[in-house]
Amino acid sequence: MSDALTHFDAHGQTHMVDVSAKSETRRVARAEGRIVMRPATLARILAGDNKKGDVIGIARIAAIQGAKRTADLIPLCHPIPLTRVAADFVPEGEDTIRCTVTAETVGRTGVEMEALTAVQVGLLTIYDMCKAMDKGMTMEGIRLLEKKGGKSGHWKAED
């Protein structure tokens, strides 16, 4: 695997990578992140006691929308046809929600950026919906867990 920066040409100018010679393959990426909050905030989310509505349900939709809009947000990211985006939000302990997103496509480039963007947008949505009761929430541990497909094959993060 090359360590070269692919978004620069031979003259050091920024460009969008040419993926036209790549084969179309099924590509899957999984990413995760957490939002840590006061225990009372998590309790209210889980009880459905938020004036703005179903926090987890809306965060799930936001994560999916984030994946779909990745190329609009990341300047050199290719717009790709997503075939699946799944966003899961699971409470951990008394003060944390973990978001895990799986993004899939059949195409010439991977979906890592879509999965990572989806996680961050989902977590930001939780923050936005709950900031009135807990401005001190923090997002952490946002990372790629796994990618499959393409020339580089299967990659999995170390625990």
- Map residue 92 onto helix, strand or coil: strand
Specify the pLDDT at position 4. Answer: 59
Task: Give the mean model confidence (pLDDT) for residues 62-83.
Answer: 95
Specify the pLDDT at position 150. Answer: 83
Examine the pLDDT at 7 and tell me if it is beyond 80.
Answer: no
Query: Is 25-154 in CATH node 3.30.70.640?
Result: yes
Report helix, strand and coil shares of the chain as percent, to nearest 5. 30, 30, 40
Active site residues: 128
| Residue-averaged pLDDT of the chain | 91
* Domains of the chain by residue range: 25-154
Examine the pLDDT at 50 and tell me if it is beyond 90.
Answer: no
**What is the spatial distance between Cα 147 and Cα 55, in angstroms, rounded to a whole number?**
28
Give the pair of three-digit tokens for residue 142: 């946002």
Specify the pLDDT at position 1. Answer: 46
Identify residue 106 by its one-letter amino acid code: V
Examine the pLDDT at 49 and tell me if it is beyond 90.
Answer: no
pLDDT per residue as tens digits for the range 95-129: 999 999 999 999 888 899 999 999 999 999 999 99
